[in-house]
Structure 1
Amino acid sequence: MPVTDVRTDADTLTMTVVADFAAPIERVWSAYSDPRQLERFWGPPGWPATFTSFDHTVGGRATYTMNGPRGETSSGSWEFLSIDAPKSFEVLDSFADENGQPLDGFPAQRMSFAFESTADGTRMVTTSHFDSVEALEQVVEMGQVEGITLAMSQLDAVLQDLRDYAQGKGTQVTLLDDTHVRITRLVEGPRELVWRAHNEPELMKQWLLGPDGWEMTECTVATEVGQTYRTRWAPVGDTEGEPFGFEGEALLIDAPRRSVQTERMIGMPVETLNDLNLYEEDGATLITLYVEYPDKETRDMILATGMADGMEASYERLERELLAV
């Protein structure tokens, strides 16, 4: 991950985050000065941000809302205090209500972002300044250290051309922490079609099959939040294995960009949270699936089943059977 160091200092009332990126300083600066790029990483996995305003001038303000997987929201605002492109900028960051106004009882922080060219790319040092030890401790207890670390783990995908970042790498599994996993796969095809392939039964039955020798015998799709879905598979011919299936509930549907569902194997009590995100660039779509497990043991057990290999077989079939047509 890009973050190399996080320090909190009660004496100076600061929290400092150091991150290194394999990209020139101008490229990193552009990611922080363009709201459409910021939306791809400002907010930890599962909490993507939407910037509703962005006045990138000294004295200007930006407002954003992060959207959680179960419909939760958390809003904030920036007031730009200084801008020295491409070396630094400083904002007053505040928790905000739905109208962008600061919330009482929540600490504001002055955040300075400093960018420096290095032999390998760019080093960014972010320093947050607080008014009191209590304010510093409050944001630490709220998980800001973990949130910033996970949010910046998404920045590599933003800084590179999408194909340079993911083409030819197949299905990639990244362990974010003990209970969260990020799975990515680049497919050559438009986002609209990839969304349909994940949500229309007649298309799902053509590709979502895992290794060869299996067929989808049942496919009930949730088309609205609160509805349940169910999918079942069975071996064909001489293929060994027992029929199995999954079911769950739709928690969020934002076509064609994002869907969040609970998932459990039929007949089993263990439930995961699956957060599917689709991003298109130059005719290719990056599929990103965030999975939340109940504990580390469950995470390791499920990954050890060869899940990633089965997903890769399905994605190869998706490109071959649907996207290449």
Structure 2
Amino acid sequence: MPVTDIATDTENLTMTVTAEFDAPIERLWEVYSDPRQLERFWGPPSWPATFRSWHHSVGGRAHYSMTGPRGEKSHGYWEFLSIEQPYRFSVLDGFTDEHGEPSSTLPSMRMDFVFESSGEGTRMVNTTVFDSLVALEQVIAMGVIEGTRQAMSQIDAVLRDLREYAQGKGTRVELLDDTHVRITRLVEGPRELVWRAHTEPDLIRQWMLGPDGWEMTECEVGLAAGDRYRTSWAPVGDTEGEPFGFEGETLLVDAPRRAVQLERMQGTDGPDVLNDLNLYEEDGATLVTVLMEFPDRETRDAILGTGMADGMEASYQRLESAVLAGQPS
């Protein structure tokens, strides 16, 4: 994880984030000055950002929105105060309403970004200056420290070529904290086809089977927020195991980029697990990212202990070989 330190200073009303990157200073500057790259890591994993406007000049403004897993919206802006490419820039960062008007109840703050070459990489020091102790404490209470750590944990995938970052590494599981797990898998195929493979029952039945020896017996998809869905599996032939399945509710759909579902094991009272699917395409390959949110650490460990990651890897291999290879592009 790039972040090496986050320090708050209640006397000087600052929060300072220090991070180290395995990339030259010019590359780091690129990701902070290109809204399409910036939005891939500016929001925490469960609150991805979308920049709706971008005027990268002193006095210019950028407006962005972050969308939560249940469709919640948070809006903000940057006003560029200074730009010294590729070494530093400063912005006034604040909250807005849905129309872009600055909030009268939430604080604004100055953020200074400084980039320094460090060996073969780059060190970033981001200092946020608040107007008052109340504003500093208000932002901390909103979860900015943990949110910053989680947001910055996504930047390595942005700094590197997507295939260099993920190709050949299979299904990767990252424990973000006690209740959040990020699963990533690079799939050789365009995003539109990968999205169809996740949302069309005829295609889902061909690949989402886990290890060999299982078949999908139910596949009811939810294609809009509020829809219910249900999937079931059963062993075939001499395969050992008991039939099982999941059911739940679709919370958010942003085709072909994102789908969020709340699911539980069929026939139980829970616990509910939130699955946040995101698809990002680069040069004909798609990075599949699933952010899982568990109610507690015990549930997280129990579900991961079922061999879920191995089953997902078998399914992704089948997706590439049996489904995407046979679909028109």
Same fold flag (TM > 0.5) = yes
Match of 1:69 in 2: 69
Structure-2 separation of matches of 1:254 and 1:160: 25
Structure-2 separation of matches of 1:223 and 1:100: 30
Match of 2:274 in 1: 273
CA apart distance, 1:100: 1.4
CA apart distance, 1:324: 2.2
Aligned residues: 325
Point out the more displaced range, 94-103 or 2-11: 94-103
Match of 2:18 in 1: 18
**Structure 1 stretches (4+) deviating beyond 3 angstroms?**
none
* TM-score with structure 1 setting the length: 0.99
- The 5 A counterparts of 1:310-321 are 310-321=311-322
- Give the residue type in structure 2 aligned to 1:225: A
CA apart distance, 1:25: 0.7
CA RMSD of aligned residues (A): 0.7
**CA deviations over 1:115-168 (Å, ceiling 9, x no partner):** 011113111000000111111111111111111111110000000000000000
Corresponding position: 1:142 with 2:139: no
For structure 2, the residue ranges without an aligned partner over 5 or more in a row are none
Match of 1:170 in 2: 170
Describe the SS at the equivalent of 1:252: strand
- Give the residue type in structure 2 aligned to 1:278: L
Match of 1:285 in 2: 286
Structure-2 separation of matches of 1:126 and 1:33: 15
CA apart distance, 1:267: 1.4
Structure-2 separation of matches of 1:194 and 1:102: 38
Structure-2 separation of matches of 1:141 and 1:149: 15
Match of 2:247 in 1: 247
Match of 2:36 in 1: 36
CA apart distance, 1:221: 0.8
**CA deviations over 1:298-323 (Å, ceiling 9, x no partner):** 00111111110000000011111012
**CA deviations over 1:182-233 (Å, ceiling 9, x no partner):** 0000010011110011111110111000000000011011122111000000
Match of 1:300 in 2: 301
Structure-2 separation of matches of 1:63 and 1:256: 23
Match of 1:53 in 2: 53
Structure-1 separation of matches of 2:209 and 2:221: 16
- Give the residue type in structure 2 aligned to 1:279: Y
Match of 1:100 in 2: 100
Match of 2:212 in 1: 212
Structure-1 separation of matches of 2:106 and 2:214: 53
- Give the residue type in structure 1 aligned to 2:174: T
Structure-2 separation of matches of 1:168 and 1:244: 30
**CA deviations over 1:84-111 (Å, ceiling 9, x no partner):** 0000000000011112121012111100
CA apart distance, 1:237: 0.4
- Give the residue type in structure 2 aligned to 1:318: L
Structure-2 separation of matches of 1:155 and 1:139: 22
Structure-1 separation of matches of 2:35 and 2:150: 19
Describe the SS at the equivalent of 1:56: coil
- Give the residue type in structure 2 aligned to 1:312: E
Describe the SS at the equivalent of 2:194: helix
Structure-2 separation of matches of 1:133 and 1:24: 36
Structure-2 separation of matches of 1:15 and 1:102: 22
**CA deviations over 1:31-63 (Å, ceiling 9, x no partner):** 000011111111001111111111000000010
* TM-score with structure 2 setting the length: 0.98
Structure-1 separation of matches of 2:152 and 2:301: 24
- Give the residue type in structure 2 aligned to 1:274: N
Structure-2 separation of matches of 1:173 and 1:26: 30
**CA deviations over 1:261-319 (Å, ceiling 9, x no partner):** 00111012211010000000000000000000001110011111111000000001111
Structure-2 separation of matches of 1:17 and 1:293: 27
Structure-1 separation of matches of 2:52 and 2:195: 25
Structure-1 separation of matches of 2:139 and 2:304: 33
